[in-house]
Structure 1
Amino acid sequence: MTFYSIDKLLNVILAQPQWEKQRKYHELTKCWYQVVNHKIAQHTRPISLNNEVLYIATASSSWAQDLNLQRRSLILKINRRIDFTVKDLHFATVKWYQNNSLNLDRSDNSDSHPSTIISDSTLNLLPPENPQEALQTWFNIIKKREQKFVTCPVCNINCPEGELKRWGYCAICFQKETSDNN
């Protein structure tokens, strides 16, 4: 049995005709973070590509309006870096809060949930350059999670510390107890 790197496998998959749209979107996402500065990258996220229009979620309507004024120059910068053409950019706040993993400026305190393992603010905003970087980022996240784990006194499984503080045992044991009572 021959083993192939993830990078080679992804390239084989993305080269197939039915994956063309996803390949273009992936390429545009990487390009977007190279074209815009760090401040804009924190407040925007490419969400889809449809009919040569890149749709970008923004953190607020003021960001959408500001970037809409820069639309033409951004299109030129993007088209210089990719092998296909983007005709337009559409900025809106609509899908910004549907995926909070990249939103670093949240005002709510979601870290207070008992099952929270690591804060979203410690995640890397920019997409990885290659599979090795993605794997290394994943390893770093797992190491950070391990530091926050404690052992459940009931089942001896590692779990987030917040679960023990809230229920006295892990969420799995809590679920078993509540389902047994019903």
Structure 2
Amino acid sequence: MSLNSVNNILGSLEIQAKLQQQPFQSLLSCWAEIVGVAIAAHTRPLSIQRDVLYVAASSAAWAQNLTFERQRLLVKVNGVLPTPLLDIRFSTAYWHSKTETNKQQILPPQQHPSHLDEDITLLSEVSLTAKTANTAFADWAKTVQARSHHLPLCPQCQCPTPPGELQRWQVCCLCAAKKFSNTFDS
């Protein structure tokens, strides 16, 4: 087998992959016109795999109702696509994508309640020439103690606590986590 034939095979595989993506891209562009504005607001096409369209739904109720309507929707979708689909599957599993949830949870480090304004140069001053693990741990403990010496104490456990945590929860993050877990357990 020559190298040229391998290149031809790879080229034809790339073309097939593009042809398989094009129907999905065209479906995405006209999804609201196919299914209607109300359904489009609560659904998002995810992929086409083995002639099955996978669609994310905003709730289990929408997924169930659309499952009952899938034959009617399949006729509409197949009217637009060059190759007909065999089925449509609705699920709530991927309604909230990772990028959406990450955008909501990411804070700049300066806004995090546990942020300390001081440089972290003290931690880098830990002796790198420590002979044993015990010596290295002792050096690290001294550094952490010096760093947290000026911090206010948690009213519950008396541990040094960043001021942002006290402002947000009135206790340190560990005491707050215990309080929140006890609230949800009962």
How would you bin the TM-score normalised by the shorter chain? 0.3 to 0.5
In our comparison, the structure showing a higher alpha carbon Rg is 2
Structure with the bigger RCO (C-alpha within 8 Å, sep 6+) is 1
Give the structure-1-normalised TM-score: 0.48
